[in-house]
Structure formats: structure tokens, C-alpha cells
């Protein structure tokens, strides 16, 4: 299951409709701070939270509506369901009443085009040619007892509503949205800037563990995956191990392993180098951050994963490694079927286009732009876009010059050093020299001792 279209209005600062269209397996959203990128991802999270809530109130076996809360009716050629949900009952760390557009007082409208997988369709008994599901969720202003959302749906490709009875819808919602019946765990997971999956599972992490970049529960899950006889779990460990072992140029020789101490009941991810094992907690914060993101995306056990600003605290090389790891997850068939990234970095470009979010006269606007415009849109003029081997270098808005490993090696400053940028009179380009090379050309180099 993955999103092919999503639209929202009336949600926080997204007063007017904002649309993500023709969504592929891997998409990147760029935009300035405070423009609404996080709100857009949270709106997607709200949509799936509402679907989970509705599915929980469906009697899957008989198609009846549990506790009589939901009402079915035909409306404008669509099947519509209405039910009551308490403000705090979304199994999320937020309340619905906090999500309406400030000072506007309008309902929230969420529309999603969903492409169902063969497994989803097999559970419901619907033919593969009817794999596109269109769902519209309307969240009116709260009433005394809570909120009464309305969800309407239809299947595309000419399937009549009568062919999808309430029992089938209940089964579909259960198979796609109910966490305890969905073998993938949940349909959608949002990894926020604190590197935590936004679900009630946060309550299970102690204060000390929340301060760890790679908490113990994640390391235990990684160990369980490695030791599992189930291919779906073991393959996740293999994906994780490949992503970590790709860091050889950064962490040095060795292979990442996961161990378990039965006496302490603790698992430890470590880099094994000969007879020495270096725990992940003893490694650099960037490597820990990378490991945490890869683990959380894989272990979220979700069809769709959104990540906020994955570049935080990561060197550009690590960003490129992370992009490649995320792309491999989607392509593997073992990880998420779709990944959405909200970022300020051009490192995560993986397709021909990106989504650009900007401020318009009536609120945020999202447009799809060609990838070669990403650097200009991000105000990183001078950056050469990432290729399969990564960017050749860039100049930040503050004037910081970043060069590739090959360029640093050619200059003899692999570990860093001073450089001089020189404009030549015989062509329109500039040259980069080390301080020593510049002094030598000026005849000011110190004589060798």
C-alpha cells in the first residue's frame, strides 16, 4: 500500500488546499523553515490515524459497526461513514483540537489516493484492476463529546459501490490500517526531528533511553531480527547491516555485529575490527544518528514512512549514504513500500523532480519542480547536485567551501587545510590552490630546510 495523491486544507497553517500529486516510491519535499513541511507530514499522519480509528470500530467479521457509532449512507455516489471519536483517542501524541487552522475555524479536509498491494486486495477479494482506492476524510469542528469525522470512499477503475459492501470495507480497513491485524505493523509512520516514531510507543521508552541516539529497545529489535527464522525479519537485519557496513570509508575497516548479554538482558550494536568490538555508543554522534534513522525506518514495520530533516547532524557524505540506504529499502520489498522525506539538503534527490513548498499570498503552496532547480530553491547556489557518486562540492550561503574526497586528495588536504580561490584572466573560471601552492607561485614560499 502506498500513497499516490494527498490533499489537505484547514490543517494548522495549511488553510487552503495543498496537494502532493503523482507520488512515487521515494519523494523529497523542500521548503524554508516554518513554511509548513512538518504540518503536511502530520496531516498525512492524522489521515491514517483516523483510518485506524474507524477500522477499530468496524466489526470485521460481519461488516456491522461496533457500538453503533458509525452510520453508513450513500452520498454523491460515494459510500460515507460517520463516527464519534474522542479528542484524545487517536493513539497519537496530539489532540485533534490542536490541529485546526488558527483563527479560521473551518473543518479539516484530508483526501488520499491509495494504491493497494496484491496482498491488500487478496484479503478483501477484490480484483487487481481495482487497486486504486480514493478516500476523503472530513473532520468538523469539535462537539461536546469529541469529534465526528466523516469518511467517504470509492474504488476507481469502474468498480461500483455495491461491489464493495461494508464487510469488505471493514476487512480492507483492518488489513490496511489496524495495527494489531496488519502484519506490517501499521500503514504509516512519521519519524520526527527527535528521531522517534510518532506513536504511543514513545511511552515505553524511559527517560534515559530517550536520551540515547540508538535506544536499547531498537538494539533488542535488531538482535531479534538477526536471530529470527522468519525471512521478513532476518532480511531487515541484512538490510540494516548492509547500510551500516557501507560506512567503511567513514568508520574504517570492520563489520557491524549485534550481540546479546543474557545476564543483563541487553543488546549491543558494535563495529567488529579483528578481535576488538567498538559499541555504537562509543562511536561518533553522526554514525549513531545514521544507525538510529536506518533502524527506525526498517523497524517501524510500515508500508509508508515519512522522515523529517534526516540531514540533521550528518556530514554530507553520511547524508548521501543514508539516501542510498533508504532507496535500497524501498526497492528491496522488505522495507517500506514508500518513503517521504522533508529536507533542507540536496543530498536526498533520487528522482527527476522534487516537491517545493513555498509561501503564497493565501498560504503555503506546493509545486513539483525539476531536480536541477533544487539547489537554487534551497538557496545553495554553487552546489553541484548529487550524482550516483555524490556531489562534487558546494559553497554554503555563509561562504563555507566543501570539496569531495577526490578533490581534497588532489590538493593534498585530505584532512583539511587552507585553500586560495584564484580568478584567472585567460578564462572565465576560477582555480583552487592550497596556501602553499599560492605562496609558491607568488615566490613567497619558505625555502625547504
Per residue in 261-274, pLDDT (tens digit) is 999 999 999 999 99
Close Cβ partners of 377 (under 8 Å, ≥ 6 residues apart):
30, 356, 369
pTM over 0.85: no
- In this structure, what C-alpha cell is assigned to residue 354? 522534487
Domain residue ranges in the chain: 2-192+325-377, 201-299, 393-441
Domain 2-192+325-377 CATH assignment equals 3.20.20.70: no
Q: How many CB atoms lie within 10 A of CB 130?
A: 17
Per-residue pLDDT at 248 exceeds 70: yes
Provide mean pLDDT across the span 50-68: 56
Return d(Cα 188, Cα 48) in angstroms, integer.
Answer: 7
- In this structure, what C-alpha cell is assigned to residue 133? 482506492
The phi and psi torsions of 441 (rounded to 5 degrees) equal -65, -30
Shortest CA distance to 171 belongs to which of 61, 66, 56?
61
Return d(Cα 317, Cα 127) in angstroms, integer.
Answer: 45
Return d(Cα 391, Cα 404) in angstroms, integer.
Answer: 7
Residue 331 · residue 340 · CB < 8 Å = no
User: Of the ranges 189-193, 221-225, 395-399, 413-417, which one carries the lowest mean pLDDT score?
Assistant: 395-399
With H, G, I as helix, E, B as strand and everything else as coil, classify residue 1: coil
Return d(Cα 192, Cα 421) in angstroms, integer.
Answer: 39
pLDDT band at 45 (very low <50, low <70, confident <90, very high): very high
pLDDT at residue number 202: 41
Per-residue pLDDT at 254 exceeds 90: yes
Query: pLDDT tens digits for 342-398?
Result: 999 999 998 899 999 999 998 999 999 999 888 889 887 655 544 444 445 666 655
pLDDT at residue number 151: 64
pLDDT at residue number 115: 82
Quote the percentage of the chain above a pLDDT of 70: 69
Per the prediction, the chain carries an average pLDDT of 78
Helix/strand/coil percent split, the chain, to 5: 35, 30, 40
Please enumerate, as own/partner, the contacts of 379-382 that have beta carbons within 8 Å and a separation of 24 or more: 380/346
Query: pLDDT tens digits for 174-215?
Result: 444 443 333 445 788 998 866 666 553 444 444 455 457 889
Per-residue pLDDT at 3 exceeds 50: yes
Close Cβ partners of 357 (under 8 Å, ≥ 6 residues apart):
18, 29, 30, 31, 35, 36, 37, 40, 364, 365, 366
The phi and psi torsions of 28 (rounded to 5 degrees) equal -120, 135
pLDDT at residue number 356: 96
Provide mean pLDDT across the span 422-446: 80
**Could you tell me which residue, 240 or 71, shows the higher pLDDT?**
240
pLDDT at residue number 330: 93
Query: pLDDT tens digits for 124-180?
Result: 566 666 567 778 888 887 765 566 666 655 544 333 333 344 444 544 554 444 433
Amino acid at each position: 500500500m502506498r500513497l499516490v495523491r494527498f490533499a489537505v486544507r484547514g490543517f494548522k497553517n495549511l488553510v487552503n488546499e495543498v496537494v502532493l500529486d503523482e507520488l512515487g516510491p521515494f519523494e523529497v519535499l523542500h521548503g524554508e523553515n516554518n513554511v509548513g513541511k512538518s504540518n503536511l507530514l502530520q496531516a498525512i499522519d492524522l489521515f491514517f490515524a483516523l483510518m485506524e480509528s474507524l477500522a477499530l470500530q468496524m466489526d470485521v467479521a460481519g461488516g456491522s459497526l461496533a457500538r453503533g457509532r458509525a452510520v453508513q449512507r450513500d452520498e454523491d455516489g460515494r459510500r460515507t461513514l460517520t463516527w464519534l471519536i474522542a479528542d484524545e483517542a487517536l493513539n497519537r501524541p496530539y489532540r485533534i483540537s490542536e490541529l485546526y487552522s488558527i483563527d479560521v475555524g473551518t473543518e479539516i479536509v484530508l483526501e488520499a489516493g491509495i494504491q493497494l498491494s496484491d496482498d491488500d486486495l487478496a484479503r478483501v477479494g477484490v480484483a487487481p484492476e481495482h487497486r486504486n482506492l480514493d478516500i476523503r476524510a472530513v473532520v468538523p469542528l469539535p462537539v461536546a463529546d469529541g469529534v465526528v469525522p466523516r469518511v467517504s470512499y470509492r474504488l476507481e477503475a469502474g468498480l461500483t459501490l455495491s461491489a464493495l459492501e461494508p464487510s469488505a470495507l471493514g476487512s480492507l480497513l483492518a488489513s490496511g490500517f489496524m495495527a494489531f491485524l496488519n502484519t506490517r505493523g501499521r500503514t504509516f509512520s512519521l519519524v520526527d526531528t527527535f528521531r522517534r516514531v510518532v506513536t504511543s510507543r514513545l511511552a515505553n521508552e524511559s527517560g534515559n533511553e530517550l536520551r540515547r541516539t540508538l535506544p536499547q529497545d531498537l538494539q533488542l529489535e535488531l538482535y531479534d531480527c538477526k536471530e529470527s527464522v522468519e525471512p521478513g525479519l532476518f532480511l531487515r537485519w541484512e538490510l540494516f547491516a548492509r547500510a551500516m557496513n557501507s560506512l567503511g570509508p567513514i568508520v574504517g575497516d570492520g563489520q557491524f555485529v549485534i550481540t546479546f548479554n543474557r545476564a543483563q538482558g541487553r543488546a549491543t550494536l558494535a563495529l567488529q575490527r579483528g578481535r576488538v568490538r567498538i559499541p555504537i555508543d562509543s562511536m561518533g554522534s553522526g554514525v549513531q544518528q545514521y544507525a538510529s534513522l536506518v533502524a527506525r525506518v526498517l523497524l517501524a514495520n510500515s508500508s509508508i514512512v515519512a522522515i523529517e530533516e534526516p540531514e540533521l547532524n550528518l556530514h554530507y557524505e553520511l547524508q548521501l549514504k543514508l539516501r542510498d540506504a533508504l532507496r535500497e529499502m524501498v526497492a528491496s520489498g522488505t522495507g517500506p513500500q514508500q518513503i517521504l522525506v522533508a529536507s533542507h539538503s540536496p543530498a536526498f534527490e533520487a528522482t527527476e523532480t522534487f516537491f517545493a513548498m513555498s509561501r503564497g499570498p493565501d498560504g503555503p503552496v506546493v509545486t513539483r519542480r525539476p531536480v536541477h532547480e533544487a539547489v537554487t530553491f534551497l538557496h545553495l547556489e554553487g552546489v553541484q547536485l548529487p550524482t550516483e557518486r555524490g556531489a562534487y562540492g558546494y559553497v554554503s550561503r555563509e561562504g563555507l567551501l566543501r570539496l569531495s574526497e577526490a578533490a581534497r586528495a588532489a590538493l593534498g588536504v585530505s584532512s583539511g587545510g587552507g585553500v586560495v580561490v584564484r580568478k584567472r584572466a585567460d578564462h572565465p573560471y576560477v582555480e583552487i590552490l592550497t596556501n602553499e601552492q599560492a605562496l609558491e607561485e607568488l615566490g613567497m614560499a619558505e625555502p625547504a630546510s
